Amino acid sequence: MKFAVIVFPGTWSDHDSKYSLEVAGQEADLVWHRATNLSEYDAIVLPGGFSYGDYLRVGAIARFSPVMESVMADAERGKPVIGICNGFQILCECHLLPGALMRNASLQYRCDWVHLRAENTSSAWTSNLEPGQVISVPISHGDGRYFADPATLDELESTGRVAFRYCTPEGAVTPEANPNGSERNIAGIVNERGNVLGMMPHPERACEALLGGEDGLLIWKSVVEWATVRA
């Protein structure tokens, strides 16, 4: 597969994402935010960082970058799109995903390894995981608290659109395992079609044992297998 890794002013996980995709045996290009045509790419990555310095709201300005028209159109056509950390914030700002990412409940920037329990294993980005499987990936954010109104949260739950929850190493979903105060320990969600995933943790930083773990590769393997089946 060929991946477009979108680069906004202030993005800083772009090279990490490109590198991890190459570790997974995939082709990836860094694509500047002024691009208006992503038709040559099979999947799109909105990586982490501080797009436009996080002015106004996290992801609020990036949502209006020229490339986002193509991102939104491709997502609507079913192309796989993943937003990681700041990318998740951007996906919420452009309404490809519901809810918002707010300041951490602790009001502190959190950078640590966390455990995630796979809830949805039928989406493009999670199909290589088993239901309830626990993976370990790092977080690095100050505005990672997922928030949505109760009706939206109930809809996400009832339609199986919660992709990951923060949990203990044993898979228990507890307040202590929640690093940012996210509603219902939600760490990632998908859209109705399952081709768009937003997640706060960084799978691109968990692609080599030398770096602390390889669980992030399961995300890339999922979308490759998903696309192969549909080829």
φ, ψ dihedrals at 171, nearest 5°: 95, 5
Output the pLDDT for position 26. 97
Residue 230, pLDDT above cutoff 90: no
Q: Is residue 228 very low, low, confident or very high in pLDDT (cuts 50, 70, 90)?
A: confident
Q: Is residue 161 very low, low, confident or very high in pLDDT (cuts 50, 70, 90)?
A: very high
Report the candidate in 189, 197, 191 with the shortest Cα–Cα distance to residue 223.
Answer: 197
Please give the average per-residue pLDDT across 161-179, as a whole number: 98
> The tokens 């993005």 sit on which residue?
11
Q: Which two tokens stand for residue 104?
A: 């951490």
Q: What one-letter code names the amino acid at 154?
A: D
Give the count of beta carbons closer than 10 Å to the beta carbon of residue 170. 10
Domain 2-230 CATH (choose: 3.10.150.10, 3.40.50.2300, 1.10.3210.10, 3.40.50.880): 3.40.50.880
Q: What one-letter code names the amino acid at 156?
A: L
- Mean pLDDT for the chain? 97
The model's pTM is 0.96
Q: Is residue 204 very low, low, confident or very high in pLDDT (cuts 50, 70, 90)?
A: very high
Q: Note whether 51 and 68 are within 8 A (CB).
A: no
Identify the sign of the CA torsion 130, 115, 188, 68: negative
Output the pLDDT for position 231. 66
Active-site residues, by number, are: 85, 202, 204
Q: Is residue 25 very low, low, confident or very high in pLDDT (cuts 50, 70, 90)?
A: very high
137, β-bridge pairs: 114
Report the C-alpha gap between 117 and 129 in whole angstroms. 10
Please give the average per-residue pLDDT across 11-15, as a whole number: 97
Output the pLDDT for position 56. 84
Q: Which of 57-66, 160-169, 222-231 has the lowest mean pLDDT?
A: 222-231
Q: Percent of the chain at pLDDT above 90?
A: 96
Q: Is residue 19 very low, low, confident or very high in pLDDT (cuts 50, 70, 90)?
A: very high
Please give the average per-residue pLDDT across 22-38, as a whole number: 97
Identify the sign of the CA torsion 124, 47, 1, 35: positive
Report the candidate in 63, 38, 46 with the shortest Cα–Cα distance to residue 11.
Answer: 46
